Chain A
Amino acid sequence: MSFSVTEPSRRQKWIAGSLVVGYALITLIPLLWIIATGFKSSADSIAYPPKVVFQPTVEGYVNLFTTQTRMGEDLRAEPREDLPWYEQLVREKGNTIVGASRYSERFFNSVIIGFGSTFFAILLGTMAAYAFSRFRVPLKDDLLFFILSTRMMPPIAVAVPIFLMFRNLGLSDTHAGMILLYTAINLSLSVWLINGFIDEIPVEYEEAALIDGYTRFQAFYKVVLPQATTGIASTAIFCLIFAWNEYALAVLLTSGTAQTAPPFIPTIIGVGGQDWPAVAAGATIFLVPVMVFTILLRKHLLRGITFGAVRK
């Protein structure tokens, strides 16, 4: 591997820098708008012209996490200093909190299903990719093509058969069912991506480890895995993003127990008028895990390239 780099001039750096910043701003605006809306009052959120400067409130978040009902006139009159701040916030609108909303439940369903399926897609994908890359697998190319072909039509195209199968197998509306489904969909991606990365790692490293007294499996996790982290990390991010954002199949296959956040968030709109701040708050919180996951793995994405310690 070799490449040459000439140091760009100050001017070039400046132009490149402003382009990147400009692009980042444009792509960030919708995101910032969602985050801002989450902290607006209902009135501010639909004000025209749109308000950029506003009085922030956590009303949206309180609405997101609670179910409320109107209070009777009599109760409304008496101020209650002993109640917690969120109850007081709700009371200003003439409502009272009757319980927690289902958002946190849906959110944790997303976490379990998203990360669970990512974990299995990566675990199985890495092992399959290693086998494809290193062992003489009969019909290897055909098998790899078959695996890729499972991704060729959009998952929703097979929604009906999956729906029927899930109903018969008792997998409808279960965490296990959704993890299985998302793992299956992501597996083709993970096998292909990771296979590409493992192919790039010279077999000499494993052979050296075998000679140095390790078994093949030990060589795999002590020598191959550390060098495949870049590929595995980026594949994991792709898998998580898919499972995290998946909407259509989740709508179809989940309702009560295993519903994820994407089908739930739109239902917030209906609760007591169009509560945009609550929707925005739900969306904001929903964004956090993928962001955190990506930031945590970023170090591996940047660090991964290892320049050859194998003489070619």
Chain B
Amino acid sequence: MAKVILDQVTKTFGDVVALDNVSMTIDDGSFVILLGPTGAGKTTTLRMVSGLDTPDAGEIFIGDQPMIGLTPAQRDVAMVFQQYSLYPHMTVRQNLEFPLKSPILKTPQSMIDEKVEAVSRVLQIAHKLDNKATALSGGEMQRVSIGRALVRSPSIYLMDEPLSSLDAKLRADLRIELKNIQANFGQTLLYVTHDQIEAMTMATHVGVLDHGKLVQFGSPREIYENPVSIYAASRLGQPRINILPADLFKGPVPDGAKSIGLRPEQISQGTGEESFVTRVEHLGDQTRLHLKFKEQDLITVTNAHTSLQRGETVKIRPHKPFFFDADGARIA
């Protein structure tokens, strides 16, 4: 457990600027989630902290110690790779024991057994412990790979889309477990995901990366309710925020506004101007409405038990919308 600081970290690969002057403070005991599309620099950020790669400029501190020149082992970090890489010549048990048997930890066997036992129970792989690592399904490999991190108590856990290939039920279970190790055991996590629910339910802080730049950092609610740009606003929210021409609706428009951003809860239904229902999607706990409004498509959410049908009309009106300028930056 430790506070981790990235101080003006820059990393380039040839012409590609993978990280552009990124500064971020990951407080001790926090759960930081990085959001951004493929290529935004999420994996690179984790690799910088882990010591697998070193910054071209800038510094990393773990527990207030500068990490320059320190190997991953010396940094005491645990990492779950995006490419979960189990040691193929070992059994599941040997894979899980491997970090504990390292020359740095040299854990006594009784403690190893205890930890492996506990972690394999949490990850629901106890019955596979003596299988060869190669004789597992993708989801099982991913769990072993998470397990190889969880057997340790490192200064920070780095996890790169760890739940991506698990089924929904297991994913829900593990979300709770991962949140638990942070919330109840005070561990620090830096976590990459594309999953909206993971970000909203687990994170204490969310960092939004755009082409190697950290464009916003804050609590998930803050990012959701107060995004700095169209890009940041688009990272969270299901269905995604609707971005429409600023003057589409009646009403005042701030100077310089190019687009209006409307999340479903920013669209009042029943008053305002008429739109056409083009599609109704019943998702169980909510119903999505696909609407056509002045030649623009938008998506919102309505009552789960709505009786609205395709072809009907519904009146809509913006409610505390976001406005963005021509560059996509938030102006109101």
Contact = CB atoms under 8 A, between A and B. Distances in A.
A257 interface: no
A215 B71 contact: yes
Contacts of B99: 211-213
B133 A309 contact: yes
A213 B105 contact: yes
A213 B83 contact: no
A207 B102 CA distance: 14
Name, among A214, A226, A306, the residue most crowded by chain B CB atoms within 10 Å (CB to CB).
A214
Contacts of A211: 50, 52, 72-73, 77-79, 99
Contact of A204 (B83, B104, B133, B148): B83
Name, among B52, B104, B138, the residue most crowded by chain A CB atoms within 10 Å (CB to CB).
B52
A311 B98 contact: no
Interface string A61-74: 00000000000000
A178 to B, nearest CB: 36
A227 interface: yes
Contacts of A212: 73, 98-99, 102, 148
Nearest to B164: A311
B109 interface: no
Interface string B49-75: 011100000000000000000011100
B83 A310 contact: yes
Interface residues of B, number: 32
Nearest to A227: B89
Interface in B18-52: 50-52
Contacts of B103: 213-215, 218
B141 to A, nearest CB: 6
Interface string B93-105: 0000011001111
B191 interface: no
A208 interface: yes
Nearest to A310: B85
Given A208-B81, A211-B79, A309 B86 contact: yes
Contact of A213 (B85, B86, B102, B141): B102
A226 B133 CA distance: 14
B238 to A, nearest CB: 26
Nearest to B47: A207
Contacts, number: 82
A202 B85 contact: yes
Contacts of B77: 211
A171 B288 CA distance: 86
Interface string B156-176: 000000000100000000000
A247 interface: no
B73 A215 contact: yes
B296 interface: no
Name, among A207, A218, A306, A312, the residue most crowded by chain B CB atoms within 10 Å (CB to CB).
A207
A46 interface: no
Contacts of A208: 79, 81, 85, 87, 148
Contact of B84 (A210, A215, A226, A310): A310
Name, among B77, B85, B103, the residue most crowded by chain A CB atoms within 10 Å (CB to CB).
B85
A223 interface: yes
A311 B141 contact: yes
Nearest to B85: A204
B226 interface: no
A213 B71 CA distance: 9
B71 A226 contact: no
B88 A207 contact: no
Contacts of B141: 309, 311
A23 interface: no
A296 B84 CA distance: 34
A209 interface: yes
B134 A306 contact: yes
A312 B79 contact: no
Interface string A200-240: 00101101111111111010000100110000000000000
Contacts of A310: 83-85
Contacts of A226: 89
A307 interface: yes
A214 B104 CA distance: 8
Nearest to B53: A207
A227 B90 CA distance: 10
A210 B98 contact: no
Nearest to B84: A311
Given A309-B86, A309-B133, A213 B104 contact: yes
B149 to A, nearest CB: 8
Nearest to A304: B89
B278 to A, nearest CB: 38
A309 B88 contact: yes
B102 A311 contact: no
Interface of B: 50-52, 71-73, 76-79, 81-89, 98-99, 102-105, 133-134, 136, 138, 141, 148, 165
11 contacts: A207-B81, A210-B51, A211-B52, A212-B148, A213-B103, A214-B102, A215-B73, A309-B134, A311-B82, A311-B84, A311-B141
Given A214-B73, A312-B83, 15 more contacts: A204-B81, A205-B88, A207-B72, A207-B81, A208-B148, A210-B72, A211-B52, A211-B99, A213-B102, A213-B104, A213-B105, A215-B73, A215-B103, A306-B89, A309-B88
Interface of A: 202, 204-205, 207-216, 218, 223, 226-227, 306-312
The 6 nearest A-B residue pairs measured at CB: A213-B102, A204-B85, A212-B99, A213-B104, A309-B86, A306-B88
